[in-house]
Homo-oligomer: A and B are copies of this chain.
Amino acid sequence: MGNITKRLAVLGSTGSIGQQTLDVIRALPHRFHIVGLAGGKNIDLLTKQIHEFKPRFVYCQDREALARLVNADYEFLTPEDIARHPQVDVVVIATSGRSGLSPTLAAVKAGKNVALANKESVVMAGEIITTEAKLNESQILPIDSEHSAIWQCLNGETQPAAQLILTASGGPFLHYSPAKLSEVTVEQALKHPSWQMGRRVTIDSATLMNKGFEVIEAHWLFDIPFDNIKVLIHPQSIIHSMVEFTDGSIKAQLSYPDMRLPIQYALTYPERLANPRLPRLDWSLINNLTFEHPDLNTFPCLKLAIEAGRKGGTYPAVLCAADEVAVELFLSQRIKFTEIANLIKQALELHQFIPYPTLDEIIAADAWARQKVLQLATGDNPC
Q: Which residues of A contact B (CB under 8 A)?
A: 152-153, 155-159, 162, 165, 230, 232, 239, 242, 244-255, 261, 264-265, 268, 270-275, 278-281, 283-284, 286-293
Contacts and interface: CB of A to CB of B under 8 A. Distances in A.
A250 to B, nearest CB: 4
Contacts of A268: 247
Contacts of A165: 283
B249 A158 contact: no
Count copies of this chain in the complex.
2
B159 A272 contact: yes
Chain A facing B: main interface SS = loop
Contacts of A273: 246-247
Contacts of A293: 283-284
Contacts of A153: 251
A254 B252 contact: yes
A158 B280 contact: no
Nearest to A292: B287
Contact of A272 (B245, B265, B284): B245
B253 A250 contact: yes
Contacts of A230: 283
Nearest to A268: B247
Nearest to A273: B247
B244 A280 contact: yes
B155 A271 contact: no
A193 to B, nearest CB: 18
B254 A242 contact: yes
B159 A157 contact: no
Contact of A255 (B248, B271, B283): B248
Among A271, A275, A283, A286, which residue has the most Cβ atoms of chain B within 10 A?
A283
